[in-house]
Amino acid sequence: MEKLVVLTGAGISAESGLKTFRDSDGLWEGYNIEDVATPEAWQRNPALVQEFYNERRKSVLEAKPNTAHFALARLEEKYEVTIITQNIDDLHERAGSTNVIHLHGIITRSQSSINPELTYPINGWQIGMDEVCELGSPLRAHVVWFGEAVPMIETAARICSRAELFILVGTSLAVYPAAGLINYVGPRVPKYIVDPKIPEASVRGPVMKIQEKATIGVPELVDRLLNK
């Protein structure tokens, strides 16, 4: 089976009703990023940060996968598929994709605030301020904040370097290091970009651009790939 790698960004989740943090006003759900998505914010006001992610988690659990998520899951009928996502929701998994790498963590799990490798499932949508890990430190959302390392980036780069087909969906290629992953894909590998606004990044080799939102462009592309 051909190795097919998909890199997804906020655009695919936005169509399920989840707002992106890169709104035009620079706010995420009315909050400044510096107040809710950095280690310094957690040190200053952990209760605010916890409340913010609890509300985001509730929104994620209420959201449903869309036709683009389900279409990507269908690719496993014919290809060895790895989805690398910048998104912190679990919509790919709920749509049926079985091999998903979350570059920026996944909000439906918690993690130790002193050891990010200690992660736990969350019962419901809230993490309480009194909940602690096995080391006794408070639990926080299992997401990568601005200023923190992206632990899965090397694994993702290695997977991209082995891709035989590559699809980019719903990302502006503006957030690094994730945006640099496309540079690891071989120059002769066929690449497909699905987005209403095709990013202007220089991409080596053959590229097919599908200037549509994910729920329209992705099912069309998947049908084409499954029937070729």
Catalytic residue annotation: 104
Determine the 3-state secondary structure of 105 from DSSP.
strand
Give the closest residue to 49 by CA, choosing from 140, 164, 125.
Answer: 140
CB 53 within 8 A of CB 127: yes
Give just the sign of the alpha carbon dihedral 202, 207, 212, 213: negative
Question: What's the Cα-to-Cα distance from 179 to each of 28, 102, 140, 200, rounded to whole Å?
Answer: 20, 14, 26, 12
